[in-house]
Amino acid sequence: MVWLFDYDLTLYGEEERFVLDSLDRRIALFVQKTVGGDFENATRIRKEYLVRFGTTLSGLMAMNGTDPDDFFDFIHEPEHLIYPKEAPEKLALLLGLKGPRFVFTNGRHDWSEAGMAHMGIDSAIDGVFDLKMLGWEGKPHDSAYVKMERWLERVLPEKGWAMPANPSEIVLLEDSLRNLEPAHARGWTTILVNPNVEAPAWVDFHIPHLMNLPDILPEVTSRAGCAHR
Ligand SMILES: [Mg+2]
């Protein structure tokens, strides 16, 4: 079994939404810096890009010729950001999961890596597959999931693991339903981690918080098709 974790609002939960809010403020400032005008105008454009392009960055790249690394260099300046609190309970939970564990994120790797270091869980994560490695076209584009599988095919043997024979052995935990849909279509096992939305019938598992994962672990293991040794 291969465990894939989204980072924002999945490895840290709704109770630490202020972490994401601190990043959103920087994104709004970057938009303001790029498009000019006041903060309100920038906020409006940011929301418009989100709806029209899926992410603010995609909108900036398409409409303003933004270099994605410039964008992330600006929004990830640590002095302006808040990180999740130390979480030894999450470290224990993650270390208890058999099989490799990766982060699959629409952010750049430095954001999730810094956050995981603050939580003290970085030692439990075997790698981060980030937006840059996805060629800046992230979830929920099909290409992102294809690239993730190809990356696993390459990385797992390097680390001494076998590529799962069945796609159901790839388990994705995500707070975003939209990002789970293509994973479901590829036959991965989907776990919605979100206390605020109803799960449609196609979602395999639904938990409010990462810390609820042990409650469903036996069923996840049996759905994924391998014994949890
Ligand atoms: Mg998320």
- E strand residue ranges, 6-119: 101-104
Q: Ligand 1 centre and the CA of 174: distance in Å?
A: 6
Sheet (strand 170-174) strand order: 127-129, 101-104, 2-5, 170-174, 189-193, 205-207
Looking at residue 225, what is its pLDDT? 80
Q: Tell me the sheet residues that pair with 156.
A: none
Interval between CA 223 and ligand 1 midpoint (Å): 23
A 10 A CB-CB count for 89 gives 11
Compute the distance from residue 90 Cα to the ligand 1 centre, in Å: 17
Name beta bridge partners: 3: 101, 171
Closest CA to 199 of 174, 164, 225: 174
Task: Decide the pairing of beta strands 170-174 and 205-207.
Answer: unpaired
Domains in the chain, CATH or no CATH each? 2-14+84-224 (3.40.50.1000), 16-80 (1.10.150.450)
Question: In a structure prediction context, what are the per-residue pLDDT tens digits for the chain, which is 229 residues long?
Answer: 999 999 999 999 999 999 999 999 999 999 999 999 999 999 899 999 988 988 899 999 999 999 999 999 999 999 999 999 999 999 999 999 999 999 999 999 999 999 999 999 999 999 999 999 999 999 999 999 999 999 999 999 999 999 999 999 999 999 999 999 999 999 999 999 999 999 999 999 999 999 999 999 999 999 888 644 4
Q: Residue 21 and residue 14: Cα distance in Å, rounded?
A: 11
Q: Strand 189-193 and strand 170-174: pairing?
A: parallel
CA of 229 to the centre of ligand 1 (A): 29
Long-range contacts of 46-55 (CB under 8 A, 24+ apart): 54/140, 54/141, 55/106, 55/138
Residue 105 CA, ligand 1 centroid: distance in Å: 8
State the distance from the centre of ligand 1 to the C-alpha of 154, rounded, in angstroms.
25
- Per DSSP, 183 falls in state H
Q: Residue 71 C-alpha to ligand 1 middle, in angstroms? A: 19
Helix (H) or strand (E) holding 105: none
Centre of ligand 1 to C-alpha 107, Å, is 9
Distance from the alpha carbon of residue 144 to the mean position of ligand 1, in angstroms: 15
Query: Residue 174: which region, alpha, beta or left (left: phi > 0; alpha: psi -120 to 50)?
Result: beta
Task: Give SS3 for 196.
Answer: coil
Whole-number Å distance between alpha carbons of 202 and 73: 38
Q: Confirm whether pTM is higher than 0.75.
A: yes
